[in-house]
Amino acid sequence: MTTSRDAWPCNQFGLLLWGGSVTAVELGAGSTGGRARTVSGRWAGLAPGLRRSGERWARARVQPYVSACLVGTAAAAVLTRAGGPVVWTAAAVVVLALAYDLVMSRSLGPVSIAAPLKRLGLVAGTALLAATSFAWLTPGQARAELAIVLLASVAFLAGAWLARAARGPRTVLLVGGRVGAAQLITQWASCPDVRVEGVCLPEFVGDGADQIIDVPVVGSIDDVVAAAAGLGVDAVVVAPGPLLTAYDVRRLSWSLEKTSVELSVAAEVDGILPRRIVPQVIGHRVMLSVRPGGRSGPALWGKGLLDRVAAALLLVLLSPVLALVAVLVRRDSPGPALFRQTRVGRDGALFEVLKFRTMVVDAESLLAGLLAENEAAGPLFKMAADPRATRIGRFLRRSSIDELPQLVNVLKGQMSLVGPRPSLPVETMAYDEWVHRRLSAKPGMTGAWQVGGRSNLSWSESVRLDIDYVDNATLRDDLLIAMRTARVVLTRDGAV
């Protein structure tokens, strides 16, 4: 393996792409996946790939730019009376700036969608600032130019969203060792927006190449360009592992630079959002610096203040509902209206969580006899037809009304409106070391797992959602989770 890859000529991919005998992937092969075949002639294997690349390029790249240019020009026509030739000049600036960006940019992926708008805003903003500073524009003309730029930007975002929705899942060709490729295939198996079409291994692959988790092995590293063209993929992803060198990745970038296929290198930074990753060059090597996770001190203070103010307001507004539910609980079965239970808070601190009682008074003593019928994974206990639940309790649990008394815990600073679920002490004793990361944030009345599937999720999936929230969440994420919670509660999605 080392001899073949070390002796790999730099123009090998050029030979595969432009002429002679190329190795491609035959689509429509049997259930065993794509099989290698030899295609003679300069354009036989290239034309379908070029056609698919052209279609993807037009669908994913031209649509946002065309949408923005048309809307900007239409706005200029409508606002002509407000500015005359001035607004047409603004429309021309928008069109020229976007046309330049379209020609110069390589792709319009999720990361680069904002880049054209930033450049357009810089050009248009600089021109507008200079014109208003020297009093070259009337207030009406300045407002008209600003309207053109804003409308064009909105149209660009709408066009990009429509193009992405029409494109379907992102197709990928993996390059790397079997272990690294298997890890990515497993991780992306639950992602509807990513589809792995094939794998190219670093070593030589014969005609009898097998599959990796139902994904066909379509060739070796020498076959990447031909395989990408034959499969019509959107991106080539290099899987992490020791079998590919930095020079191999560089040669892959050379071979793919004249195609519409993007090259990405998977990094071992799972669960970290892009906003926390900063690329930089240290000693001629590209490094990914990871910013610290969690919230800063001022952010925690602001979140705590917002939690308490919102909890106080909700308690006042919902007080009639809380009083009515308390009466119904006590009339339905003997015992108090509220149920108190010791839970684990931030950094392992214990507190008493409040809930409306949904079970009989001696429910805790009956738990041992039901453990064999536990329907949840991990240390959690869930049972859809729990015999301990009361009649009104089943309704309260399905509607999540039983959680409303926890607003008192939020007001006391023991919980947050949004955060990981509060765990029982016996559950935390069964945690692995990395799961203890959940305890570095205040538990919440709702959180990522509640809006991500609730009881439909496995234990590992719910833990991953909670830890990702602790590491990456911002105030914007809290607001989005709160809004999604309303939909989940109304539809009773995942409720038990």
Do 203 and 121 lie in one domain? The reply is: no
Residue 277, strand partner residues: 290
User: How far is residue 1's CA from residue 202's CA, in Å, rounded to a whole number?
Assistant: 8
DSSP assignment string, 10-35: TTHHHHHHHSSEEEEEETT--TT--E
Residue 196 has pLDDT above 80, yes or no: yes
Residue 166 has pLDDT above 90, yes or no: no
Residue 45 CA from chain centroid, whole number: 35
* 482, part of any domain: yes
Do 360 and 485 lie in one domain? The reply is: yes
35: closest CA among 211, 196, 202, 239?
211
Please tell me the total count of domains within the chain.
Answer: 3
Whether the full predicted model's pTM is greater than 0.85, yes or no, is no
- Kindly compute the dihedral angle of the four CA atoms of residues 424, 425, 430, 436, in this order, to the nearest 10 degrees: 90
* 288, part of any domain: no
Residue 198, domain extent: 2-38+169-268
pLDDT in tens, 390-447: 888 888 888 889 999 999 999 999 999 999 988 889 888 878 888 888 888 999 999 8
Residue 25, strand partner residues: 36
Q: Which residue has the higher pLDDT, 98 or 318?
A: 318
Do 108 and 203 lie in one domain? The reply is: no
* CATH number assigned to the domain comprising residue 249: 3.40.50
Which of 167, 196, 225 represents a domain boundary (last residue)? Answer: 167
Least confident span in 34-48, 120-134, 285-299, 451-465: 34-48
Residue 476 has pLDDT above 90, yes or no: no
- Coil, helix or strand for 122? helix
User: How far is residue 267's CA from residue 286's CA, in Å, rounded to a whole number?
Assistant: 12
The pLDDT value recorded for residue 122 is 84
In contact, 148 and 68? CB cutoff 8 Å: no
Across 488-492, average pLDDT:
72
Provide the token pair at 286: 């590209």
Across 48-68, average pLDDT:
64
Across 293-306, average pLDDT:
87
Across 180-195, average pLDDT:
87
Across 239-268, average pLDDT:
84
Rg (CA), the chain: 29
Do 157 and 180 lie in one domain? The reply is: no
DSSP assignment string, 417-454: EESSPPBPHHHHHT--TGGGGGGGS--EEE-HHHHTTG
* 279, part of any domain: no
Do 424 and 310 lie in one domain? The reply is: yes
Residue 46 has pLDDT above 70, yes or no: no
- Kindly compute the dihedral angle of the four CA atoms of residues 206, 210, 214, 217, in this order, to the nearest 10 degrees: -20
Residue with tokens 């069964």: 430
Q: Which residue has the higher pLDDT, 361 or 22?
A: 361
Average pLDDT, the chain: 78
Do 132 and 142 lie in one domain? The reply is: yes
In contact, 372 and 311? CB cutoff 8 Å: no
The pLDDT value recorded for residue 55 is 52
Across 236-264, average pLDDT:
85
